[in-house]
C-alpha cells in the first residue's frame, strides 16, 4: 500500500510512467505493507530509479562482461587501473561517468565477480537518473572492488523486507565446494516477472540460481542453497537529493553549475 500526504494520492494516475515503472507501482500498491512518501515527487523518483537499475542490470548482462574471481579479473586499461587485489581504480584522466559507461560499451574487456557487478549496476542506475555532472561530482575517484563503494551510494539493508525490482538479494550456498569459493553464494538484482540478474549465471528465476549453486556443493552434500531474507535497497530519498544541484565535497557544499 502506498501512503501519500492528503490530496496527493489522486495524482498517482497522472504520473507519466513507463510500463516497467507502472509494474513496480502496482506491486507496491498491492502490498499489505505501507510505503509512505513525503510527496508524489519522491514516489516518482523511486519508481524511475528502480526502473533505471533494472535497465542497467539487463544492459550489463547484454554487454558481454565476463565472470572472474578477483585473481583473474580484467578491465579496459583506457579507463581503469587494475589493482593488486583484483579491483579497479578509475583513471584520473577520465570521468567517473565515462569509466562506468565504458563497462557497458566494451563489456568483453571486463571480467569480475558478482558483488562488483551489483555495485556497477547501481552506479549506472544512479548515473542515469541524476545525470553525468552530479555523478562526476559525487562519485569521484571510483574504486570497484567487491561490496566496497562510494559513501554517496547509500544502500539500506533490511532483514525480512519485501524485495522489488531494483533491489539486491543474496542466495547463500552453505555447503559450497571449498575448491570453488566463488560459488559460496550469488548476489542478484531483482527484476520484474519473477526474474533475477545474477552475474555469471544470467537473467533467470530464483529456482535456476538455486540449482546452479547446488551444482557447486561439496561432493555428497544434500544441503540446498537458498535466498536470504535480507534486502539491499538504494536510499532513494538520499539519492534524490544528489540530483538537486547541491554537491558535498568533504565538509564543504557547492552549487553545481
pLDDT of residue 257: 42
For the CA atoms of 94, 95, 96, 101, the dihedral, rounded to the nearest 10 degrees, stands at -80
The pLDDT mean for the chain works out to 93
pTM of this prediction exceeds 0.75: yes
Question: What integer is the mean pLDDT of 226-234?
Answer: 97
Question: What integer is the mean pLDDT of 77-100?
Answer: 97
Candidate from 85-89, 178-182, 251-255 with smallest mean pLDDT: 251-255
Amino acid at each position: 500500500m502506498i501512503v501519500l500526504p492528503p490530496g496527493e494520492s489522486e495524482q498517482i494516475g497522472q504520473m507519466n510512467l513507463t510500463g516497467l515503472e507502472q509494474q513496480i507501482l502496482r506491486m507496491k500498491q498491492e502490498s499489505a505493507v505501507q510505503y509512505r512518501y513525503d510527496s508524489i515527487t519522491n514516489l516518482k523518483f523511486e519508481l524511475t530509479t528502480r526502473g533505471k537499475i533494472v535497465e542497467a542490470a539487463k544492459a550489463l548482462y547484454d554487454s558481454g562482461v565476463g565472470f572472474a574471481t578477483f585473481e583473474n579479473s580484467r578491465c579496459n586499461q583506457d579507463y581503469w587501473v587494475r589493482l593488486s587485489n583484483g579491483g579497479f581504480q578509475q583513471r584520473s584522466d577520465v570521468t567517473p561517468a565515462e569509466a562506468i559507461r565504458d563497462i557497458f560499451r566494451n563489456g568483453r574487456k571486463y571480467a569480475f565477480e558478482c558483488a562488483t557487478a551489483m555495485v556497477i549496476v547501481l552506479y549506472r542506475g544512479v548515473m542515469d537518473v541524476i545525470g553525468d555532472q552530479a555523478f562526476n561530482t559525487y562519485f569521484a575517484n571510483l574504486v570497484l572492488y567487491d561490496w566496497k563503494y562510494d559513501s554517496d551510494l547509500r544502500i539500506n539493508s533490511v532483514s525480512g523486507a519485501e524485495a522489488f525490482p531494483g533491489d539486491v538479494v543474496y542466495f547463500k550456498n552453505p555447503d559450497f565446494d571449498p575448491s570453488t569459493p566463488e560459488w559460496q553464494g550469488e548476489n542478484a538484482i531483482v527484476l520484474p516477472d519473477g526474474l533475477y540478474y545474477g552475474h555469471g549465471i544470467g537473467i533467470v528465476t530464483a529456482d535456476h540460481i538455486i540449482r546452479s549453486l547446488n551444482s557447486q556443493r561439496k561432493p555428497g552434500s544434500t544441503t540446498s542453497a537458498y535466498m536470504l531474507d535480507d534486502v539491499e535497497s538504494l536510499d532513494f530519498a538520499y539519492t534524490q537529493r544528489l540530483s538537486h544541484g547541491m554537491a558535498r565535497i568533504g565538509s564543504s557544499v557547492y552549487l553545481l553549475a
